[in-house]
Amino acid sequence: MFRQINLTIQSSLLFFLLFVSSCSTEKKTSADNKVDTLKTETNTDNLNEENSEVTEEELIASELKERANSDSIAYEALHIYSGNYQLETESEGVTATVNLTYLGDKQFTFDWSFNVSEANCEAKLSGTLQMDRTQHGFITCNSTLIHVNFNGTWNGYDVIEILIEEPQACNTISGDCIFSGTYRKKSA
């Protein structure tokens, strides 16, 4: 019974992987698709009948390796966000900048300063920004989470957005200002 369950799991995983691989952007003719379908059905039947040499663990490992490869390609492109950014604002007397330098492995150095002299608001924070699997990076200050959203290009400039939850909890942020905002990359 265990052997039958194992074969069922292998078949299900194989069908899933075949489905995912069939979603590629390559275009095939109708005849090619029919031949591929026949080959797939034949190969699947053979796997079920012959107790394939490919184990469930090997299929999972292969899928994880493929995902890691595509992730590493995407993460290599993160270096384009390295640079100096300035807060987009029409308010006078506001000086706010962010400097990002890509370190590799989904990490940036993060240097942020914010100053509104008339309102007596000031913030400074340096550290390592950690990216997740999307376009979001995070850094903390005490119990304050600072979220950096990498928005891509807007009007010809790379743009990031900084969102700060509970700025009063961070010991390097002072004053009663809105510290969140959109930052535009300065021209090189």
| Model pLDDT for residues 148-173, shown as the tens digit of each residue | 999 888 888 889 999 998 898 999 99
Q: Are residues 71 and 88 in the same domain?
A: no
Hunting for tokens 């924070």 — which residue is that?
125
Alpha-carbon distance values, 173 to 77, 105, 118, 120, 185 (Å) = 32, 28, 16, 11, 23
Which domain, by its residues, includes 100? 82-185
Mark which of 36, 52, 77 sits at the end of a domain. 77
Q: Are residues 72 and 88 in the same domain?
A: no
- Whole-number Å distance between alpha carbons of 110 and 123: 13
Supply the CATH number for residue 165's domain.
2.40.128
Q: Is the pLDDT of residue 86 over 90?
A: yes
Number of domains in the chain: 2
Q: Are residues 162 and 100 in the same domain?
A: yes
Q: Are residues 86 and 114 in the same domain?
A: yes
Q: Which residues on neighbouring strands pair with residue 137, listed in sequence order? A: 131, 148
Q: Are residues 87 and 176 in the same domain?
A: yes
What's the predicted TM-score (pTM) here?
Answer: 0.61
Q: Are residues 12 and 43 in the same domain?
A: yes
- Whole-number Å distance between alpha carbons of 179 and 85: 15
Cβ-Cβ contacts under 8 Å for 95 (sequence gap 6 or more): 87, 113, 114, 115, 116
- Whole-number Å distance between alpha carbons of 133 and 85: 23
Q: Are residues 119 and 34 in the same domain?
A: no
Q: Are residues 181 and 95 in the same domain?
A: yes
Q: Are residues 73 and 90 in the same domain?
A: no
Instruction: Identify the top-confidence range among 19-33, 68-82, 144-158.
Output: 144-158
Q: Which residues on neighbouring strands pair with residue 67, listed in sequence order? A: none
Do residues 64 and 142 make contact, with C-beta atoms less than 8 angstroms apart? no
Mark which of 77, 92, 112 sits at the end of a domain. 77
Residue 165 CB neighbours (<10 A): 12
Q: Are residues 87 and 18 in the same domain?
A: no
Q: Are residues 152 and 175 in the same domain?
A: yes
Mark which of 56, 77, 98 sits at the end of a domain. 77
Share of the chain above pLDDT 90, in %: 37
